[in-house]
Amino acid sequence: MIEISELKRYDEDVWDAFVHESNDATFYHQIGWRYVVENSYGFKSIYLVAEEKGRIRGILPLFLIKSKIFGRKLISVSFAPYGGACADDTSIERMLIEGAKELADKYDVKFVEFRYLKNSGIDLPTFTRYYTFILRLNSDPEVVWQRFSKKVRNSTRKAIKSGLRVERCKDYINEFYKIHSKNMHHLGTPTHDKRFFKNVLKTFPEQTDLVVVKYRDEIIAGTILLYFKDTVISGWAGSLREYLSLCPNNLMYWKIIKDACRNGYRFFDFGRSLINSGTFRFKKAWATEPIQLRYQFYLPNSKQIPDISMQNPKRKRFAEIWRKIPYPIANVIGPKLRKFFP
């Protein structure tokens, strides 16, 4: 008999043990993500477990987002590109989904969103415009280098000749945040609170890194890396637009890829992008495999799938307005809005 229940705080180690044994679990399924979100934005977490005779057979992390303006929703998982239910088989996964539906009725939410990296096999309305990009690594970085497009290799050589250099140091979090928040302002998107990134680094001290690119003595690009099993993930990245002609992102990613190859990792995840966007084309040129993300929805109080991507005309209009707000002001009010768009 499979029993669906909420995870007890004292059983969190058992949850993580399941995550590290499961082939379908991701970085964001780890129990630490609960504390990143709770400590950054204060949202209620509801972690469902499927148990059989005291043994975990499946998990489903959920976050309850409540707003008087934007309504209530349950997300698996918030502020991450993928999550969803993770179980030993599809029947158990369906039971976890049914458990989430009961929670949707209990909390009277507009919808429940399950962000899948895989094809779940669950029949629900699905949003498929986002992709992540996976590069297969090799113990010899030169083998990987030869797979890149000519444009990628030439741009990387240009960055090297320009005198750029790459460093790893979590102490640069303030400099990284300034770059990232400026990028978000240019894109017309409210930025995360700085404490969100600090909480990621604090909660996962052995599974995170901060990589930056310097030109002379100025930091001009950076990314927060996440390490999970055999994969290195570029979680959040940014670069100063006035230095893009020096190709800092190329040098940064090449250095990360070389180190990952030499340290025995098998994959590098460039992170999520909207189909046919500029970052979509940039990542595809690195000989990556585009993986279509499947965001599935249970819609008890909504008629259609919510679309907050840049392909939505309303979202485009918001972006145009947001760019016109002076950066210092946008950087103050941005995190207050960002928390409601997980």
Give residue 308's pLDDT: 78
Residue 293 is classified by DSSP as -
Q: Which residues of 131-164 are buried (b: 16+ CB within 10 A; e: fewer)?
A: bbbbbebeeebeebbeebeeebbebbeebeeeeb
The superfamily CATH assigns to domain 3-124 is: Gcn5-related N-acetyltransferase (GNAT) (3.40.630.30)
Per-residue pLDDT tens over the stretch 313-333? 988 999 999 999 999 999 999
Q: Are 342 and 78 in contact (CB under 8 A)?
A: yes
Burial of 4 (0-12, 13-18, 19+ CB in 10 A): middle
Alpha-carbon gap, residue 135 to 138, rounded angstroms: 10
Give residue 274's pLDDT: 95
Nearest to 165 by CA among 223, 212, 214: 214
Per-residue pLDDT tens over the stretch 16-70? 999 999 999 999 999 999 999 999 999 999 999 999 998 999 999 999 999 888 8
Phi-psi region for residue 236, left (φ > 0), alpha (ψ -120 to 50) or beta? beta
Which residue ranges does the chain devote to CATH 3.40.630.30?
A: 3-124, 131-292
Give residue 119's pLDDT: 83
Give, in words, the CATH class of 131-292: alpha beta
Q: Which residues of the chain have pLDDT under 50?
A: none
169-172: Cβ within 8 A, 24+ apart:
169/210, 169/212, 170/201, 170/208, 170/209, 170/210, 172/210, 172/212, 172/219, 172/222
